[in-house]
Chain A
Amino acid sequence: MELPLLHLALVGTPNSGKTSLFNALTGSRQKVANYPGVTVERKEGFFVTPLGRQVSVVDLPGTYSLRGRSPDEEITRDFVLGKASGETVPDLVLCVADSTNLRLTIRLLLELKRTGRPMVLVLNMFDIAARRGITVDVERLAKELGLPVVTSIAVRKGGTADLLKLTDEISAKLAAEAEDNSWRALSVAELRATQREADRIIADCVSLPARPDTWTARIDAVVLHPVGGLVVLALILFVMFQAVFAWAQPAMDLLKSGFDMLGEFVQATLPDGLLQSFLQNGVIAGVGSVIVFLPQIILIFLFILLLEDFGYMARAAFLMDRIMGGAGLHGRAFIPLLSSFACAIPGIMATRVIDNKRDRLTTILIAPLMTCSARIPVYTLIISAFIPARDVWGFINLQGLVMFGLYAAGIVSALAVSFLIKFFMLRDYAPAPFMLELPDYKMPRLKSIVIGIYTRAKMFLVRAGTTIFSMMVLIWFLASFPQPPAGATEPAIDFSLAAIIGKALEPLLAPVGFNWQIAVALIPGMAAREVAVAALGTVYAIEGGKEAAEQIGQVLATKWSLATALSMLAWYIFAPQCASTLAVIRRETGSWAWMAVTFTYMLVLAYAASLVTYNVAVALGAG
């Protein structure tokens, strides 16, 4: 008889290694609802136990208690209590603890026990604890706590064998174990009592080494130095952006020539006509020009995941708290804003860690100003076409420098907007507290990083394959129909629907130096920013014939003035060019009004920035 699916839930404090245990258990068999932030979205995975039981496991957001003081923590509480709508009550709760740091987890566990759910304590990172000279009397701990305790090394092959075996043993006798839920919000006195009890249990069962981890202290002496720490942070960000621009190039060139070859193959094989044009100009040139940016997206996520796993992100928040506080931002906003460099969507979702409503709203409003990876294709294209690739001061690549400048412009304007919000809209307001655990540093583990990058790269490709593909087909259609009358001498695209739409919009955009081809490209760019590049490719490919399709950058260099190119860059720093971001803002703020506010203020900024840039550039002779 087939047994029903066994439901597990992972609960633990932040930094307990929950996510790496989740990855170790389920590998790539994960279902991430929508976009994954760092454990802010519902992540479910599947695996099979040694005895063949099918198991589903949900990775719940990290929490220190069940009080539910933020939306994230409420999810965890409701899930464990079986109150979350549409969710099954977990059959077994796995409370995950960092073996090197049991104090806060044991307190949480004592609170969790009151829910009456069958539970197991998983002592994760047991190898690191052993190496640091921490010994845990596992049997005694199990006896004191009154529940099974199992050790695991999530990042090592076979490191979860004991946990899998235990899951089988427990699932066999689960039905008998259900207890009543006696949990209710703890009073301060009860909290204190549970922490005392946890400290007593730890004193009995855990022996700490005479010397604490010295590596963390040594690194922190530099990284958290009031001045040195900020220099290190700036260096890390600078290297990150240079890397994204320079290191990704060879892989991008390879992808590009691959798509070019595919396009030539189609051109050579198929007869001239609509099908050939559709495949070569619509599908291959369009989707290809977006997929080319996969290496850069992988690199930026690599950096973010590495810093996160290493334990640096919390330090960055510590360093930036007061500096961002000057602009009216909370230190915790640093992590969501840094994630927004990859994509504003996980960034906006990660604002759930900010429990103060007003801090959260400000962060959401400015998150789209952080230069997301979807802008990289647009920036790269224009920079490589218009900015010479020479070195300044002997060692800094000028193109990389312009890129850095564009990122800096995004950051500065985000801080300015936040400051204005603080100044005009939300004046009578006391700053929310900043309390954050600074975890010990840990070597990032390859497997976790690989799985993290894999899920994100997959999402990007799926988007390229669906949203972007359908937009490209639409653009190709608009740019190809109606067909020019027989004997027409002008380029075919001049007769198309795209030209009609573009020319209708042109008067509005002429003051900022945009021609009708740009106007056409901006429309599908609403679906996803990077589509604008593909759309420009399609528009100019159809207009200019086959040679143009091969080198869109060169085409732009001949068709646009420098002033137009700079204006386009300025536009893209601000433009609300992403429908999915707006949709997420609507969802996370629960308000159409805030979505409209975001759209309007960004559009106004974009237009103003482009207007100034274009006119200054023209005045300086770049028109």
Chain B
Amino acid sequence: MTDTKDTRPHMPLGLAQRGYTGVIQQLSARQAGSALSDIELESRLIELGFVEGARVEVLHEGLVGRDPIAVRVDSITIAVRRREAMAIIVA
């Protein structure tokens, strides 16, 4: 298994374990199954700093179902549920 930056497979942040670090590749609200409309979810994620190229790290997980997760996005920390984090494609 080669796991270097270039060849890492794309995956949704919603599946990431605690300690995962990566870079946002794209936002894909349709994959999330959120209660929000695609446009609304994408807008909110951008407003909280989830844009392509931002570095993310999963810092903490909740107790029940390892949900929600606390994610370091560049210089700030955002709490988000895994369901919504499915819209954030990282690698």
| Residues on A facing B (Cβ under 8 Å) | 64-65, 67, 69, 101, 103-104, 107, 186, 188, 191-192, 195-196, 199, 208, 212, 216-217, 220, 224-227, 229-230, 314, 317-319, 321-323, 325-326, 331, 356, 430-440
Tell me whether B6 is interfacial, beta carbon within 8 Å: no
CA distance A69 to B47 in the complex (A): 12
Say how far B76's CB is from chain A's closest CB, in angstroms. Answer: 6
Q: Which 8 pairs of residues, A with B, have the shortest CB-CB distance?
A: A322-B64, A430-B35, A226-B63, A224-B60, A64-B47, A438-B77, A318-B79, A436-B79
Say how far A129's CB is from chain B's closest CB, in angstroms. Answer: 11
Complex contacts, B45 vs chain A, CB 8 Å: 435
The interface size of chain B toward A, counting residues with CB under 8 Å, comes to 37
Complex contacts, B34 vs chain A, CB 8 Å: 430, 433
A107 touches B84 (CB 8 A): no
- 26 residue pairs of the A-B complex, CB under 8 angstroms, read A64-B48, A107-B47, A188-B42, A191-B43, A192-B52, A208-B75, A220-B77, A224-B70, A226-B60, A317-B79, A318-B68, A318-B70, A322-B62, A322-B68, A432-B36, A433-B41, A434-B79, A435-B48, A435-B78, A435-B79, A435-B80, A435-B81, A436-B79, A437-B77, A437-B78, A438-B70
CA distance A192 to B43 in the complex (A): 8
Complex contacts, B63 vs chain A, CB 8 Å: 226-227, 229-230, 319, 322-323
Say how far B9's CB is from chain A's closest CB, in angstroms. Answer: 24
**A323 touches which of B59, B64, B74, B79 (Cβ 8 Å):** B64
A67 touches B59 (CB 8 A): no
A226 touches B36 (CB 8 A): no
**B48 touches which of A230, A319, A322, A437 (Cβ 8 Å):** A437
Complex contacts, A195 vs chain B, CB 8 Å: 46-47, 49, 51
Tell me whether B15 is interfacial, beta carbon within 8 Å: no
Q: Which of B28-60 contact A (CB under 8 A)?
A: 34-36, 39-49, 51-52, 59-60
**A433 touches which of B52, B59, B60, B83 (Cβ 8 Å):** B83
In the complex formed, the residue of A with least CB distance to B72 is: A212
B78 touches A188 (CB 8 A): no
CA distance A323 to B59 in the complex (A): 19
In the complex formed, the residue of A with least CB distance to B71 is: A438
CA distance A199 to B61 in the complex (A): 28
Complex contacts, B77 vs chain A, CB 8 Å: 216, 220, 437-440
B67 touches A101 (CB 8 A): no
B70 touches A434 (CB 8 A): no
CA distance A434 to B65 in the complex (A): 15
Complex contacts, A431 vs chain B, CB 8 Å: 35, 83
B48 touches A433 (CB 8 A): no
CA distance A438 to B49 in the complex (A): 13
CA distance A195 to B35 in the complex (A): 24
Residue of A230, A319, A434 ringed by the most chain B CB atoms within 10 A? A434
Say how far B63's CB is from chain A's closest CB, in angstroms. Answer: 4
Other contacts beyond A101-B75, A226-B60, A321-B79: 15, CB < 8 A: A186-B43, A188-B39, A195-B47, A199-B51, A208-B75, A318-B79, A321-B81, A322-B65, A326-B64, A356-B35, A431-B35, A432-B35, A435-B45, A435-B84, A437-B48
Complex contacts, A331 vs chain B, CB 8 Å: 68, 79
A103 touches B81 (CB 8 A): no
**A319 touches which of B40, B62, B80 (Cβ 8 Å):** B62
Residue of A64, A225, A326 ringed by the most chain B CB atoms within 10 A? A64
A104 touches B76 (CB 8 A): yes
Contacts A192-B51, A435-B79, A437-B48 given: A318-B62 contact, CB under 8 Å? yes
Complex contacts, B42 vs chain A, CB 8 Å: 188
Residue of B34, B49, B61 ringed by the most chain A CB atoms within 10 A? B49
Complex contacts, B40 vs chain A, CB 8 Å: 69
Residue of A199, A318, A440 ringed by the most chain B CB atoms within 10 A? A318
In the complex formed, the residue of B with least CB distance to A438 is: B77
**A220 touches which of B35, B39, B59, B64 (Cβ 8 Å):** B59
